[in-house]
Each structure stands twice: as structure tokens, then as C-alpha cells.
Amino acid sequence: MYLKNEAKVTDEQQLHTDESFLQNLTAEIEDVLDERRFRHTLSVAHTAACLAMRYEESPYRAYLAGLLHDCAKCLKSKKKLELAKEYGLGINAAEEENPDLLHAKLGSILAKEKYKIDDEEVLSAIRYHTTGKPDMTKLEKIIYIADYIEIHRKPLPLLEKARRAAFADLDEAMQVILESTLNFLGKKGAMIDPITYETYNYYNKDKS
Ligand code: DGI
Ligand code: FE
Ligand code: FE
């Protein structure tokens, strides 16, 4: 039993009190995603919670961010562009070419406005889960990494290396994933968002 007047709310307490909240949110997310994306989402949430346990971050917040990270993914491109304009997001050249990139920024807006999440770090983890950003917090890195390594991901270059690194050193995992992503985008000839470069340079700066 928890003491009623215990000053600090622990994760476990939050999980207990918010169980129906998480259940309802899961059902709402299932509604807006296709089956494959929902399966990926649950897997990211679980993987993020495991990484949080490993790195002494809150498994609850990691799960919540994982559950919401792709909530805008299944909107049509036209809708993504419309919403981005409605919310006054500047659209850069990479986003213009590939409006899917907007799902991260839009996801953080929907998490706040539609799903009523007010935890700024959770919102930021959602916002930066596709491009990353320099000097990310533990929670932001956990979501970025969980998104790449979860078990349903199609085999990607360096996936096994990223999975091993993820549970040993978050910054090393960032470096591996960014290297793989930039290689992949380079081969595809896709336009690279300046922030993806900045993130790559930041996490590769110590590499000889
Ligand atoms: O939404 P998910 O598929 O789960 O994963 P995600 O949000 O990390 O998006 C992954 C895709 O985003 C992957 O194909 C790489 C791509 N991406 C990441 N940074 C950039 C990018 N695509 C372009 N065009 N430019 C970028 O800077
Ligand atoms: Fe995504
Ligand atoms: Fe994802």
C-alpha cells in the first residue's frame, strides 16, 4: 500500500493510477494507425520502457512517448501539409519533398492538443524521433533508438550493432543509427534535413 501523503509520486504509483489512462490511450492510438504501424508502436513503447529501466529513466514516460511517437504517421501527405500550415510549422525543403518527415513535429502537437500530454520532455522526444537533434536528453535518445531497434523492424543495415550498442551506451547507439540512416538516405538520393546532419555530426564528433 502506498502512503496517501507520500511526497514523491513514484513511477509505479503513476502506472497504477494511470492504468485506465494508458488503456484508453492505447485504444485511441490503435484507431488512428494501420495494423502494422500499431504493432510497431507497441513494440517501440515496450523497447523504450526496457531501455529506460537500463538507464534509470522513467519506464512510464518512455512507454508513453513510445505509444505516441508515430500518432501522426498515418495521416495522408496532403493532411500532414495542411496541418503543418495550420499550426504554423515552417516547412523546409526536405519536408516539402517528403511530407512524411512532418509526422514527428505533428505527432508532438497532437500529443499535446489531442491526447492532452503536458510532459514537455515526452513531447520533445516525439518531436525529434525522426531526425534526432544535437545533445539529446536520455528520454529523447531512448525513443530515437527504440524506434530503430524494436523487434518488428525490417532488417536494416547495422541493426544488430545498434541493438547491442543500445543496451551498452546510448551515445554509441545514436552514432551507429545515424551512420546507417545517412548512408541509406544518401544511396536513395533523398533530401536530408539540416537537423539530421547536425545530429549526425554531433554524435560522430568523437569518432576518429
Ligand atoms: O516513422 P518510422 O518509420 O517508425 O521511423 P522514423 O520516424 O525514424 O522515420 C524513418 C524514416 O525517416 C527513415 O526512412 C529515414 C527517414 N529520415 C530520417 N531523417 C531524414 C529522413 N528522410 C529524409 N528524407 N531526410 C532526413 O533528414
Ligand atoms: Fe516515426
Ligand atoms: Fe516509429
Question: Can you tell me the mean pLDDT for 187-205?
Answer: 96
Condensed to tens digits (0 to 9), the pLDDT of residues 98-128 reads 999 999 999 999 999 999 999 999 999 999 9
- Residue spans of the domains in the chain: they are 11-154
Assigned architecture for domain 11-154:
Orthogonal Bundle (1.10)
Cell numbers of 59, please?
519506464
Tens digits of residue pLDDT in 71-91: 999 999 999 999 999 999 999
| Å from CA of 10 to ligand 3 middle | 28
The answer to whether the beta carbons of residues 74 and 34 sit under 8 Å apart is yes
Whether residue 2 is predicted with pLDDT greater than 90 in this model: the reply is: no
Closest C-alpha to ligand 1, atom 13: 181
Do 139 and 122 contact (CB within 8 A), yes or no? yes
* Cβ-contact 158, 178 below 8 angstroms: no
Q: Give the pLDDT confidence of 141-156 residue by residue, as tens digits.
A: 999 999 999 999 988 8
Residue recorded with cell 516525439: 126
CA–centroid distance, 21 to ligand 1, in Å, is 29
Give the DSSP letter of residue 20: H
Q: Is 73 in the pocket of ligand 1 (CB under 6 A)?
A: yes
Question: Which ligand 1 atom sits closest to the C-alpha of 191?
Answer: 24
Ligand 1 pocket check for 192: Cβ under 6 Å: yes
181 CA closest ligand 1 atom index: 15
| Distance between CA atoms of residues 154 and 16, nearest Å | 34
Q: How far apart are CA 199 and CA 78, in angstroms?
A: 28
Its pTM surpasses 0.85: yes
